[in-house]
Structure 1
């Protein structure tokens, strides 16, 4: 339990630092085509109540709330500073069907069967107890409700998990990326059945001065594996390309 709590604190501190950097964090995570693909993919209907798990800057929450004025969206995260910014933005833009709630990173502060859909983008690889988190997702979902997961995955030939070591160079609580097969196994354990999916990629920068031990990491892994991520160093930025799982589940 102590390890889980320390991991949550590391994630919280890392993301408070990232959000305070503003434009660089946006540069890492924004992708308008990917966002459009997600919005087209999600089976959103009138009067739904949607939970955005690990909402961060509200990257999914805001466009969904704007597009569907007759639904309710709640963004959940451990990073209070980001949520404060989100609340201010919602007030400024007069978006009345959205709210943001903080929690301890373990138990969700909601009743059983409260939501029609849970969505999460680029967040679940930070969750230290993924089994507990997915069990909480299943608990708060109605029968017939949906879970949408969008998260990077190791390349098919990354047998040494280079990508996890790379992500852990920055001390922001990265745990691991999961393969599609691992997601099917984890979610299936909690009554969440695969419906459909699509694949995408993300290419983003990491600041070299926060990638502690980068050169040492490169020596630990086969050159072919490193090259499969199209790694490129440009000044103080390191770029890699990651595959992304986009998977929709339905609660049985």
Structure 2
């Protein structure tokens, strides 16, 4: 994909920045606690949070590490994240940097911890992003990626890909657990571990967060309603009077480490 796509990503998230910053679904979650357990952060750690979005992951880890660089492709959402974190108060060790996940503007070995949460499905080239994550981590550095898990069943996976693109044109691709493990291994990471977390979404809040208008929400609602029964079962789609109230997907947490030696 060319630069034109990444400009669309910037436009999309600049327009919807407030919704991501103030969405409680990003601020909390068992996935964050598990990420902290696996990363085992200390006040000696230098952390990079890639595609920080509303800054929630950076804010969660800031008290646990020496410093955090919160990076994102979209300057407008970085400004909103900075405002949000400033309003929360009590955190002074986060800096903000505009950065493309596939071409990070940091020297090799700059960080000891790297996080990237609910973002890689927007990346045109995830293997390249993983190579960059590996490059900017010091030897022995730790990484956690959290993103939506692509279902193994091809029909359910196709439904997922279609509905995400109906909701958000900047969605590129989600991956299965095996695909994530293969990509991380190819990038050089070791000690790979995965965990899955269910996440229930209020349908209207989720649909509108990406900027869908009323007609777009209605089309998406119909697509959910008309889905095969196994899709309803997999996503635990809850409906009332022909309207989708909620659905539940799976998030995958992937932990990996850069080897101590070449």
- Please identify which structure carries the higher helix content: 2
Structure 1 match to 2:75: 80
> Does 26-35 or 165-174 show the bigger shift?
26-35
CA shift in 2, pair 1:174/1:237, >3 Å:
same
Structure 1 match to 2:6: 8
Ranges of 4+ aligned residues in structure 1 off by more than 4 Å: 89-92, 215-221, 233-238
Post-superposition CA distance 1:28-80 (Å, at most 9, x none): 534344333333332212311111011011111012112x2x51111110121
> Does 3-12 or 54-63 show the bigger shift?
3-12
Structure 1 match to 2:128: 132
CA shift in 2, pair 1:136/1:246, >3 Å:
same
Structure 1 unaligned blocks of 5 or more = none
RMSD: 2.7
* Equivalent pair of 2:30/2:197 in contact (CA under 8 Å): no
User: What is the total number of aligned residue pairs between the two structures?
Assistant: 247
TM-score (structure 1 length as normaliser)? 0.85
* CA distance in structure 1 between the partners assigned to 2:11 and 2:218 by the alignment: 17
The offset of 1:211, in angstroms, is 4.1
DSSP 3-state at the match of 1:247: strand
* CA distance in structure 2 between the partners assigned to 1:218 and 1:85 by the alignment: 32
Structure 1 match to 2:235: 229
* CA distance in structure 2 between the partners assigned to 1:131 and 1:33 by the alignment: 26
* CA distance in structure 2 between the partners assigned to 1:212 and 1:175 by the alignment: 22
Structure 2 unaligned blocks of 5 or more = 209-213
Match of 1:142 among 123, 138, 141: 138
* CA distance in structure 1 between the partners assigned to 2:5 and 2:118 by the alignment: 17
The offset of 1:89, in angstroms, is 4.2
> Does 70-79 or 27-36 show the bigger shift?
27-36
TM-score (structure 2 length as normaliser)? 0.82
